């Protein structure tokens, strides 16, 4: 807090002396530019923070943990007052964040929780468990599991083991589907159910595609129907979609595929009937929430949080500002994504 207390004092002094507000430096560390969402997150954060008068250092780390650590080190050396970090590996930042703590820098975990350290002060994210329950419930509804007499076959594709969110997404979906597995209405022909078995390291489309290639060859090449694939996000859904196309699946035997992020490629697939749904997490909302948190920190006001019970990071339960995700499909995407100004109609043209 040392540095921030000084900044707050300076803000007060300049406010009273009529000089321009003292500039607070915010370092924004994003994981990668390879996924559309992080580019949007970074751009939104930078624009909103600059608009509010902050000096912003925005860095992307190419999904390389060592690079992210050195970017954060540099932000600290360059005098950051606040760090906003979407981690690559939530458990690898403890050491560099000790340095931040010594310098009195406030750290906000962005979207992904930072684990095993008390040097993170706040967490801003969408309700990760709810993302999963939305996906699971979508499958229950679309497959008519409540009233189904027979059995459907589904496969499960989760996210990256080093991302704390991935287990929440998967658990949320699994909790909704499990009763139907137990009731014999849902079969998983591959038998792969445990998070470790269905995880997709680095969330890479190619990794999801390679696994789906194998699942199809081993379980569906004899014509066994595949009714749905639960995919935790859009990058994994893209990989699964490619595998299905390569294996010759067509409109009449195309499975229901879930996703998350409403990336442009996936919304296009939704319009083309290749992906049933995605979970929409408006990155503008998340960025706006983080800016509100930063304003409160700088002004010495109470920081807005709405969950102080869920996100234990191995050391303590990090105060969290949760936003609600919503599902998007062919019926509501126009209202949700185009009318709200998130995308233009042209961006979604196939």
List contacts with ligand BGC (CB under 6 A): 35, 37, 111-112, 159, 163, 165, 203, 233, 235, 260-261, 281
Nearer to ligand BGC, 59 or 219 (CB): 59
Gap between the terminal Cα atoms of the chain: 50
The CA distance from 316 to 62, in Å, is 29
C-beta of 85: minimal distance to ligand BGC in Å?
12
- CA 28 – CA 77 distance, rounded (Å): 14
| For ligand BGC, the closer CB: 168 or 180 | 168
d(CA 14, CA 258): 52
Q: Identify which of 46, 186, 64 has the alpha carbon closest to the alpha carbon of residue 110.
A: 46
Nearer CB in complex with ligand BGC: 159/319? 159
Q: How far is CA 174 from CA 47, 48, 67, 157, 254, in A?
A: 37, 36, 34, 11, 22
DSSP string, 225-275: ---EEEESSHHHHHHHHHHHHHTT--GGGPPEE--SS--HHHHHHHHTTS-
Structural element, H or E, at residue 338: none
- In angstroms, what CA-CA distances link 18 with 8, 23, 75? 15, 14, 29
Using the minimum distance from each CB to ligand BGC, give the nearer residue, 155 or 282.
Answer: 282
- Which residue's CB is nearer to ligand BGC, number 22 or number 204? 204
Burial (Cβ within 10 Å: 0-12, 13-18, ≥19) of residue 102: exposed
Enumerate residues 6+ apart whose C-beta is below 8 A from 48.
Answer: 287, 288, 291
Residues 6+ apart with CB under 8 A from 182: none
Provide the minimum distance between the beta carbon of 135 and ligand BGC in the complex, in angstroms, as a whole number.
Answer: 12
User: CB of residue 222 vs ligand BGC: minimum separation in angstroms?
Assistant: 33
Nearest residue relative to ligand BGC (C-beta): 233
The distance of closest approach from Cβ of residue 175 to ligand BGC in the complex, given in angstroms and rounded to an integer, is 18
Write down the least CB distance from residue 203 to ligand BGC, Å: 4
Of 63 and 190, the one with the shorter C-beta distance to ligand BGC is: 63
Q: What is the smallest separation between the CB atom of 261 and ligand BGC, expressed in angstroms?
A: 5
CB of residue 190 to ligand BGC, shortest distance in Å = 23
Cβ closest to ligand BGC, residue 3 vs residue 112? 112
């Amino acid at each position: 807090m040392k540095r921030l207390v000084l900044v707050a004092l300076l803000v007060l002094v300049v406010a009273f002396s009529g000089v321009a507000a003292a500039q607070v430096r915010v370092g924004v560390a994003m994981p990668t530019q390879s996924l559309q969402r992080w580019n949007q997150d970074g751009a939104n954060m930078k624009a909103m923070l600059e608009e509010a008068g902050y000096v912003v250092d925005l860095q992307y780390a190419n999904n390389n943990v060592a690079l992210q650590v050195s970017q954060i080190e540099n932000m600290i050396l360059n005098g950051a007052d606040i760090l906003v970090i979407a981690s690559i590996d939530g458990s690898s930042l403890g050491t560099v964040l000790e340095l931040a703590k010594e310098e009195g820098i406030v750290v906000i975990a962005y979207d992904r929780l930072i684990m095993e350290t008390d040097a993170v002060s706040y967490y801003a994210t969408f309700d990760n468990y709810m993302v999963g329950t939305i996906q699971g419930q979508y499958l229950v509804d679309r497959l008519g599991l409540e009233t189904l007499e027979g059995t459907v076959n589904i496969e499960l594709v989760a996210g990256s083991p080093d991302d704390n969110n991935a287990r929440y997404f998967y658990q949320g979906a699994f909790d909704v589907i499990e009763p139907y597995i137990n009731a014999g209405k849902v079969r998983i022909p591959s038998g792969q159910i445990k998070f470790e078995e269905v995880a997709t390291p680095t969330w890479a489309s190619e990794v999801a595609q390679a696994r789906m290639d194998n699942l199809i060859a081993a379980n569906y090449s004899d014509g066994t129907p595949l009714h749905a694939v639960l995919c935790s996000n859009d990058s994994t859904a893209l990989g699964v979609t490619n595998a299905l196309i390569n294996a010759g699946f067509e409109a009449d035997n195309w499975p229901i595929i879930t996703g998350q992020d409403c990336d442009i490629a996936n919304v296009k697939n939704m319009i083309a009937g290749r992906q049933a749904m995605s979970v929409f997490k408006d990155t503008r909302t998340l960025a706006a929430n983080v800016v509100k948190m930063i304003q409160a920190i700088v002004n010495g006001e109470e920081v807005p949080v709405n969950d102080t019970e869920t996100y234990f990071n191995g050391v303590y339960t990090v105060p969290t500002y949760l936003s609600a995700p919503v599902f998007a499909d062919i019926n509501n995407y126009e209202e949700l994504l185009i009318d709200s100004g998130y995308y233009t109609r042209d961006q979604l043209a196939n």
